[in-house]
Chain A
């Protein structure tokens, strides 16, 4: 195995910049690794070998590096449009679709000279917590191939843990970046809503979706964060403000001193419902932060417990509308059954969508229907406001909030596929952040029974700097994270 694949993105970028290795060699090493292990892991839906080598060649030929990550390979979640690769969002209904345009995130990666290795597996339209709802097969967790890597961004997270890529992009609607990060022992960041453009991100739930960086170290995530974040006039909901200086904050944090910083443990996101091993890992992480000089306080966010209920009204409502466009008229799958356009639409949607997507379309259609709107969608929006207020009050008492990223470690494939509610409960700790539009990340906090656990650090809107600082301080104090060996 090439030693290159074990390096961090920051290290690779430095080697390429100093011409110790070429970007093509780095790309080749990762493509070889994909060829070696992806048969077992199935992180990728599409590998863009030719495009990756081409892009790396341009980096090698350039006079000046296009960005601090020029030449570093990356795995892109298959929910972003790419003009030179198929884009499926994990759904049969988009099988074979070649978008005529690049997502803003895709365009920024290209402009930064980052080598896009391919597109990663995901639950269909980002609905799921295991990748078992992908129309193209389940991704296997590199820690234990019989277990799920989390979802929806399981492919991106697994590609990092399997050393197929040092960087990846995910999207987080209710935890789809952070939960897979926790399950695979990697770092996953959900930026402030509006921090990264959604243009070209195939929507799950517009008011919750947010793209973010995934990596094996906090610094790599920060470097990638600064590449993809920032105002985009093509996305009305993107924030027209300077990107928080997360790289500088990470470097500051890595020095290890957190004196004077207040960290809040959210009472409602610990204890009951959390596995003993997860809880123990979390408690140890909190003690670690205390040792670094942080003041630990307990805060209460009473409405967080209603987050899942509100989320499963708002998300399906938006989904039912966002996914209406998949009607066989202009792109993607067309099932020519029946004589009328309506019949073709119905037949295509019947065959093209998987069971979880259909379940949520039906839930949302019902929740928005006349006479039920106020009781369901309207009520859920009020809960959302209450959760945002809980956050605001908690951030008066603490600079960042802490919780385990997930209630459990990675579960076996098939364990929850027939029990949607238990699958939904996996996102208990991550959902409030999406509802409030604030920022959060998951950083590995050791193992429980041989499986990774994630520590969630939550920050106010545009408070990414302090969040990265705390995560980097913890990471440095924790020491190198254990990583899995994949048996191909």
Chain B
């Protein structure tokens, strides 16, 4: 039986007839040195099955031991999300069979999370603040990875065989679950995106994860339901997995609103199910439906003792919290004298850290900002990488700025120096030397101007006669003579000077 198909409803029409309710579950992979329950390294990208031991392979007889750094990271995240920290909590076992789960149960917190009942204030595009309630933040371990070989889809069904890599098995995860988020109306997609963005920045500021959505170290599930407008009811929700970029978060919400509205308006019923986000079509697809609902048979993990963070420890961690993103933004806005919009653009461009680091390396804030949001952003776009992935450091940018302000480089030469660094030609000074990026000294330049004037006496006469526009020909000649290294503006000034 094929499922009936429904029309997608236009976003505005959805809002006329329905109210959306959001819920977001975000998994953050911690960047602890070792795994959640054993001493294996967690580094991404190692050869398959080289970062494993009896415990994370679930070998008979092996036992888990809780990683204290992971508990510390969980508490710090909980504190930053204004949560209460449980004075006593446990891990549980979530039982289900899957080949990438070495023990066929996942050791995860269940009804006793380490952090609960908090909130995150999210700043929207127009500067307004929206408060998202946090239900809980709990600790769990990641699974291994399956690679399905053969078959068309790369999924387990139809695959010829599957390969298993357990390097990721046991890597610590924190799952952060929001309370239901009602009242978002037309801003639902924007709020979902802004929340995940704010959470990402927060976790990054805490330094507990590299929160790379493209590498899976931050993963988002979007829950969404619709209810008849102003009914105050709660509809049946779908849970969309595989939402792996900020843009996808927004698009997944938008698509689910349109899809569910189509189902409801046609008299259908929204099914409570897991759906998968399709990056290429910006749509969601139903996962394999199970005959019966999964029963995970949770029970307290008997191989671990309860976790009881002392009040002193929690307070100590509270005292070591770094400056959180919103506080930092308010400070930088003030220091750099930015408008809301300017600040937002810097945040969206991911330039805040880079500019701050460039300023810290001695550059004036204005210059640092203009380099990163203009020329370097352009370069990043061309190369299709994030700004912070450009192979140039804030210190190098600061050095270039210094060379410009000292007059050693013109803006044009400076861009060439940056290009050289980006092309891997070495450090700034090395590029300047290798590319011969030197403004000829004034004497040389004057000599070149004089020579050009002498070579074209008729043009020189016109300039002397007041036809300044004629200077262009001399500028061209001087530039040619200096191999394009001279500052054209300065050349023009010198020509006029020498002809007056």
Contacts of B286 in A (CB 8 A): none
Contact with B along A58-89 (1 / 0, CB 8 A): 00000000000000000000001100000101
Say yes or no: is A321 at the interface (Cβ < 8 Å to chain B).
yes
Q: In the bound complex, how far is the Cα of B156 from the Cα of A206, in angstroms? A: 33
Q: How large is the interface on B (under 10, 10 to 19, 20 to 34, 35 or more residues)?
A: 20 to 34
A327 at the interface (CB under 8 A from B): yes
**A124 to chain B: closest CB distance in Å?**
13
Q: Which of B76-84, B98-106, B235-243 forms part of the interface with chain A?
A: B98-106
Q: Does B302 contact A (CB under 8 A)?
A: yes
**Candidates A100, A327, A368; contact of B54 at CB < 8 Å:** A100
Binds B, one of A49-57, A228-236, A406-414: A228-236
Question: B93 at the A/B interface (Cβ < 8 Å)?
Answer: yes
Determine if A415 is an interface residue (Cβ-Cβ < 8 Å).
Answer: no
> Is A236 in contact with B105, judged by CB distance below 8 angstroms?
no
User: Contacts A321-B105, A324-B104; is A235 near B63 (CB within 8 Å)?
Assistant: yes
Chain A residues within an 8 Å CB radius of B57: 330
A256 smallest CB distance to B (angstroms): 40
B130-158 vs A: 1/0 string, CB under 8 Å?
Answer: 00000000000000000000000000100
State the CA gap A80–B60 with chains docked (Å).
9
A320–B302 Cα distance when bound, in Å, is 13
Which of B64, B156, B297 is A369 in contact with, Cβ under 8 Å?
Answer: B297
Q: Which of B50-83 contact A (CB under 8 A)?
A: 54, 57-66
Q: Contact: A317 with B61, CB < 8 Å?
A: no
> Does A101 contact B63, Cβ atoms closer than 8 Å?
no
Determine if B97 is an interface residue (Cβ-Cβ < 8 Å). Answer: yes
- Give the CA-CA distance A97 to B65 in the complex, in Å: 25
Q: Which of A199, A237, A325, A370 sits near B58, CB closer than 8 Å?
A: A325
Contact B99 A99 (CB under 8 A): no
Residue of A whose beta carbon sits closest to that of B37: A236
- Of chain A, the residue at the smallest CB distance from B58 is A325
Q: Is the CB of B295 closer than 8 A to any CB of chain A?
A: yes
**Residues on B with beta carbons closer than 8 Å to the beta carbon of A97:** 60
Shortest C-beta distance, B286 to chain A (Å), equals 20
Asked if A350 lies at the interface with its beta carbon under 8 angstroms from chain B, I say no
**B304→A236 contact, CB < 8 A:** yes
Shortest beta-carbon distance from A101 to chain B in Å = 5
A80 to B61 alpha-carbon distance, docked (Å): 7
Known A-B contacts A324-B97, A368-B297; A236 and B65 likewise in contact (beta carbons under 8 Å): yes
Is B215's CB within 8 Å of the partner chain A? no
CB within 8 Å for A324 and B299 given contacts A89-B60, A99-B60, A234-B65: no
Are B61 and A201 in contact, with the CB atoms below 8 A?
Answer: yes
State whether the Cβ of A298 lies closer than 8 Å to any Cβ in chain B.
no
**Cα distance A330–B169 in the bound complex, in angstroms:** 14
Q: How far is the CA of A228 from the CA of B103 in the complex (A)?
A: 27
In the bound complex, what is the Cα–Cα distance between A368 and B57 (angstroms)? 25
**Complexed CA–CA distance, A373 and B60 (Å):** 26
On whether the beta carbons of A324 and B105 are closer than 8 Å, the reply is yes
Q: Check B59–A331 contact: CB distance below 8 A.
A: yes
| B104 engages A94 (CB within 8 Å) | no
- Which residues of chain A have C-beta atoms less than 8 A from B66's C-beta? 236
Contact of B61 among A81, A330, A373 (CB under 8 A): A81
A327 in contact with B104 (CB, 8 Å): yes
Shortest distance from the beta carbon of A312 to any chain B beta carbon, whole Å:
16
Residues of A within 8 A of B297 (CB): 320-321, 365, 368-370, 373
Contact B295 A369 (CB under 8 A): yes
Q: Is B305 positioned at the interface, with any CB of A under 8 Å from its CB?
A: yes
Q: Does A207 contact B (CB under 8 A)?
A: yes
Is A203 an interface residue when CB atoms closer than 8 A count as contact? yes
Judging by beta carbons under 8 Å apart, are B302 and A207 in contact?
yes
A234 touches B93 (CB 8 A): no
How long is the Cα–Cα vector from A321 to B93 in the complex, in angstroms?
8
Chain A residues, CB < 8 A from B58: 325, 330
Assembly CA distance A97 to B58 (angstroms): 14
Contact A234 B299 (CB under 8 A): no
Task: Check if B61 sits within 8 Å of A199, measured CB to CB.
Answer: yes
Which of B97, B105, B304 gathers the greatest number of chain A CB atoms within 10 Å?
A: B97
- Selected from A100, A321, A325, the residue in CB contact (under 8 A) with B299 is A321
A80 to B59 CA separation, bound complex (whole angstroms) = 12
Tell whether, in the assembled complex, residue A202 and residue B61 are in contact, meaning their CB atoms are under 8 Å apart.
yes
Whether B304 pairs with A317 at a CB distance below 8 angstroms is: no
A7–chain B nearest beta-carbon distance, Å = 32
Q: Do A327 and B97 form a contact, CB below 8 Å, given A99-B60, A318-B302, A321-B299?
A: yes
Chain A hits for B303, CB < 8 A: 203, 206, 236-237
Chain A residues with CB under 8 Å of B60's CB are: 81, 87, 89, 94, 97, 99, 202-203, 325-326, 331
User: A177-216: which residues lie under 8 A (CB-CB) from chain B?
Assistant: 198-203, 205-207
Name the distance in Å between A58's Cβ and chain B's nearest Cβ.
25
Given the complex, which residues of B lie within 8 Å of A80, measured CB to CB? 61
Contact at A203–B97, with CB atoms within 8 Å? no
CB closest chain-A residue, reference B100: A329
Nearest CB on A from B106, distance (A)? 11
The docked-state distance in angstroms from the alpha carbon of A22 to that of B350 is 74
Contact: B304 with A321, CB < 8 Å?
no
Contacts of B59 in A (CB 8 A): 81, 99-101, 330-331
Residues of B within 8 A of A236 (CB): 63-66, 303-305
| Alpha-carbon gap, A377 to B92, bound state (A) | 14
- A146: chain B residues within 8 A (beta carbon): none
How far is it, in angstroms, between the C-alpha of A94 and the C-alpha of B156 when the chains are bound? Answer: 27
> Residue A342 at the B interface, CB < 8 A?
yes
Q: Does B324 contact A (CB under 8 A)?
A: no
Complex interface: chain A residues within 8 A of B295 (CB): 369-370
Q: Do B97 and A345 have beta carbons less than 8 Å apart?
A: yes
Of the residues B61, B105, B302, contact of A99 by C-beta under 8 Å: B61
Distance (Å) between the CB of B476 and the closest chain A CB?
73
Q: Output the least CB separation between A360 and chain B (Å).
A: 14
The chain B residue with its CB closest to the CB of A103 is B61
Question: Nearest CB to that of B294 among chain A residues?
Answer: A370
- Knowing A103-B61, A234-B63, the reply to whether A317 touches B299 (Cβ < 8 A) is yes
Q: Is B162 an interface residue when CB atoms closer than 8 A count as contact?
A: yes
Residues of B within 8 A of A237 (CB): 302-305
B396 in the interface (beta carbon within 8 A): no
Question: Quick check: is B95 within 8 A (CB to CB) of the other chain?
Answer: yes
Say yes or no for B455: interface residue by CB 8 A criterion: no
Q: Which residues of B contact A202 (CB under 8 A)?
A: 60-61
Is A341 an interface residue when CB atoms closer than 8 A count as contact? yes
**Given contacts A101-B62, A198-B63, A373-B297, could you give 5 more A-B pairs where the C-beta distance is less than 8 Å?**
A99-B59, A101-B59, A318-B299, A327-B97, A345-B97
A-B contact pairs, 28 of them (CB 8 A): A80-B61, A99-B60, A99-B61, A101-B59, A200-B61, A202-B60, A202-B61, A206-B303, A207-B302, A235-B63, A235-B65, A236-B63, A236-B64, A236-B303, A236-B305, A321-B93, A321-B95, A321-B105, A321-B299, A325-B102, A325-B103, A325-B104, A329-B99, A330-B58, A341-B156, A345-B97, A369-B295, A377-B299
Task: Give me the interface of A with B, judged by CB distance under 8 Å.
Answer: 80-81, 87, 89, 94, 97, 99-101, 103, 198-203, 205-207, 233-237, 317-318, 320-321, 324-327, 329-331, 340-342, 345, 365, 368-370, 373, 377
Give 6 closest A-B pairs by Cβ, nearest first: A324-B104, A368-B297, A206-B302, A207-B302, A200-B61, A202-B60
